[in-house]
Amino acid sequence: MALINTAGILAGRGFRVLVLDLDLEAPGLSYLDPNAPDISPEQQQPRVRPLQLGFVDLLSDAKERGEAADLFILSANEIAERYTQPYHLPEELREFKDGSLHIMPAGKFDSDYAQRFDALNLRELYQEGLGEPLIRVFKQKLVEADLYDYVLVDSRTGFSDEAGICTRDLADYLMILSGLNRQNIEGTCEFLKTLRVATAGEKRFQIILSPVPNGEDALLDQREAMAKASFEAAWGAKVDLSLQIPYHPQLALTEEPHIFRRRRGYLFEAYRAIERSMLEALGHNARMLLRRIKDTLRSKDYAAALRDLRRMVRLEGGRSVLCELVFDLGMDDWQFLRGKAVGELSQEQITLNNILGDAVGWRVIEFIVDHLPLGEKEWGTSALLQLLEGSSPELANRFYKRMVSATPHDACILSDYAIFLADQHGDLDGAESYYRRALEADPKHANNLGNYAGFLARKRGDLDEAEAYFKRALEANPKHANTLGNYAIFLERKRGDLDEAEAYFKRALEANPKHANHLSNYGQFLVGVARLSEGEQLLVSAFEYSDQYDRSNVGNIAEICYSLWLVSRMQERSTERWEGYFKFFIQKGFKRYPWSFERMLDQAKKILSPEEFEYAEALAHAFLDESQVSNLDHYERWRTLEPLDPMEASNRYSERTSTSISSASS
């Protein structure tokens, strides 16, 4: 029963499990009713011996017919169809719906079973040198078929031919059940001695004490200590006895798996502990699999990564550990900002773009999208969305749909999806629907009100309605920096009210003095009204406060660099630094968004020469439209300009500063 209960837990997790009943002389699992395991004991009918082909039939056929036998000519799927039967899992046990449990019975229990078993004569088969090759072919069929994630073998207690098959030829890991009476302890000791000799002490195993009665604590402690000492003497090394199955009267009254009736309590937890120990011994825990997945992703073995991902998310803690992998997928961001090509990335990095460029790699990301744990929007989901929005809008949309379905009343997720639909898909009606759902979920959410106002202004052109929502947003939070800054832009660009716009730019910076975007927008505004020195100061602050490690921020930094180049030229100052930075970001590439440098260019036209102004316009067009970048090659100054990585420039400056300080100190 320990085996079928453990198998049921594994199958409930979503694994494909096969149970082999190799207790051939006294098969028990073969008698389980595969169709109704969850009916009550009083409803059970007297058992009828099943007439399902099984292990004895498969090997007997191979012994009699040789290469013409089913074992050699049938595919793994055909063997599974003929020699195994599915075992029903209660829906309440399923954590994943794609798990399955199959049993290969000992054999077909007709009147000839005993005769076929005797004729098989496993001992003689091994002595003749035929047994081990047949078992090897059988095991290879199971492995190559990829039909099962785990194969659990029920072996005969004590020393029999089939027990030898299990310990030598089939099992990767042994779980040995032993009682605490003297007969069980002595028998297990003899088995351990034989196992040590047969496997040179290298076979991995775990002893499970069963049944362990409640009460009689003193005697139980005494017997457990005696068992531990005896087992360790027999094996010649430490033995762990922490796995124990408590006695439960139901185990003596029914043949059905306990976990199919009761999925909580001390007995269920005992079987859970057995499952957990087995998985740990096989190296199948979430963290070990995560390390293996990272290695296979780096080596571009996406098929292996996908197999381990499927296993990992079904294990305890696997879905939360998946968030760490998502974080690592974005760790190439700073490499891009430092000017590294994809091929030059450190082997320690995993790039989403590389993975998506492979058909199986795409399925890896699909799997992550479908299985990353959801709830409130956390860093894991945010990181994945950020990566996908730039690399695969299709998968981003799929992930958003999952999030909205899981949290249909989360105002932030609804609003983010609305932004995505408008900006990425151009689905304005869908976006408006989700904006309204977001505001129904939280009518006083200042950020969502402000975003909807921006949508109405930019996408719908409904300026009056947009202004009404900007005012609602500021009523909800008068110090909301984003709303203040966006309303300032609205007043400048849509209403032409420059005085009122400046007032709101100032309020935005009062609310958040170090916000790079607001500093940049206000700086550009001041340049556009011919207050060049003031504007330049704000733009320099914007550059200093910008997050240059955030790849999604590249476009904003490029905008600041262009603005600083332009205002520096207008004041006849050196521009090489800002022009070099701008070329660096243009070559790296970034997501374009609607913007206008019209007011600044109007002022520049009054100051710059026609040739210089033409170049300034060409730079602006390249920033706003990627297809215009190639036009810059018409200008010799652009062709000969060396791109300048701001991070490397900053590091060189820091090194020079450090050197001068050290010299001064000495």
List of residues 6+ apart from 648 with CB closer than 8 A? 338, 339
468 and 547 part of one domain: no
Q: Are residues 132 and 70 in the same domain?
A: yes
141 in the same domain as 11: yes
CA gap 281, 172 in Å, rounded = 10
CA dist 364 and 351 (Å) reads 13
Q: What is the pLDDT of residue 211?
A: 86
Tell me whether residue 351 is in a domain: no
What's the whole-number mean pLDDT along residues 83-104?
88
In this predicted structure, what is the pLDDT of residue 389?
A: 84
Res 243: pLDDT: 92
pLDDT in tens, 306-317: 999 999 999 988
Strands 100-104 and 85-86: antiparallel
Q: Look over the chain and give the mean of its residue pLDDT values, rounded to a whole number.
A: 85
Which pLDDT value is given to residue 344?
44
Provide the pLDDT for residue 589: 87
pLDDT in tens, 626-645: 999 999 999 999 999 999 98
Report the number of distinct structural domains present in the chain: 3
Whether the per-residue pLDDT at 38 is higher than 50: the answer is no
Judgement on whether residues 492 and 524 belong to the same structural domain of the protein:
no
- The predicted model scores a pTM of 0.73
CATH of residue 496: 1.25.40.10
Cβ pair 594, 574 in contact under 8 A: no
> Does position 567 have pLDDT exceeding 80, yes or no?
yes
User: Confidence band (pLDDT; 50, 70, 90) for 343?
Assistant: very low
Are 660 and 559 in a shared domain? yes
Query: Is the domain of 58 the same as that of 34?
Result: yes
Q: According to the model, what pLDDT value does residue 327 have?
A: 76
Give the span between the Cα atoms of 369 and 309, in whole angstroms.
12
Q: Is the pLDDT of residue 348 over 60?
A: no
Mean pLDDT on 192-200: 87
DSSP string, 199-238: TTT---EEEEEEEE-SS-HHHHHHHHHHHHHHHHHHHTS-
pLDDT tens track for 649-661:
655 444 443 333 3
Residue 253 lies in a domain: yes
The pLDDT > 90 percentage for the chain reads: 54
Q: 631: which DSSP letter?
A: G
- pLDDT given for residue 156 in this prediction: 72
Least confident among 230-239, 470-479, 488-497, 647-656: 647-656
Chain centroid, CA 156 distance in Å: 40
Identify the band that residue 256 occupies on the pLDDT scale cut at 50, 70 and 90.
low
Residues 475 and 616 grouped into a single domain: no
* Model confidence band, residue 578 (pLDDT cutoffs 50, 70, 90): very high
Q: Residue 340 has what pLDDT?
A: 43
Q: What is the pLDDT of residues 351-390, one digit of tens each?
A: 677 788 888 999 999 999 999 888 666 667 887 887 788 7
Q: Is residue 394 situated within a structural domain?
A: no
Given 475, 495, 513, which residue is the final one in a domain? 513
pLDDT at 162: 55
Which domain covers residue 491, as residue numbers? 462-513
Which residues contact residue 357 at a Cβ distance below 8 angstroms, ignoring those fewer than 6 apart? none
Domain end marker among 257, 278, 299: 278
Bridging pattern class, strands 243-246 and 150-155: unpaired
Main-chain dihedrals φ then ψ at residue 30, nearest 5 degrees: -65, -20
Render pLDDT for 134-144 as a digit per residue (tens, 0 to 9): 988 998 888 88
State which of 513, 544, 572 marks the end of a domain. 513
Same domain, 519 and 502: no
Task: Report if residue 365 sits inside a domain.
Answer: no
SS (HEC) of 120-138:
HCHHHHHHCCCHHHHHHHH
Residue 126 located in a structural domain:
yes
CB 470 within 8 A of CB 487: yes
Kindly state whether residue 308 falls inside one of the protein's structural domains.
no
Predicted confidence at residue 163, as pLDDT, reads 52
155-159, 271-275, 534-538: which has the minimum mean pLDDT? 155-159
pLDDT at position 251 is: 58
Q: CA 571, 575, 581, 583 torsion: positive or negative? A: positive
State which of 44-58, 273-287, 307-321, 603-617 shows the largest mean pLDDT: 603-617
577 occurs within a structural domain: yes
On whether residue 414 sits in a domain, the answer given is no
Q: Is 173 helix (H, G, I), strand (E, B) or coil?
A: coil
Q: Find the mean pLDDT for residues 575-585.
A: 94
Terminal Cα-to-Cα distance of the chain (whole angstroms): 77
Residue 640 and residue 621 share a domain: yes
Q: Are residues 519 and 646 in the same domain?
A: yes
State whether 43 and 97 are in the same domain.
yes
Residues 656 and 666 in one domain: yes
What would the pLDDT profile of 506-545 be if each residue is shown by its tens digit? 999 999 999 999 999 999 999 999 999 999 999 999 999 9
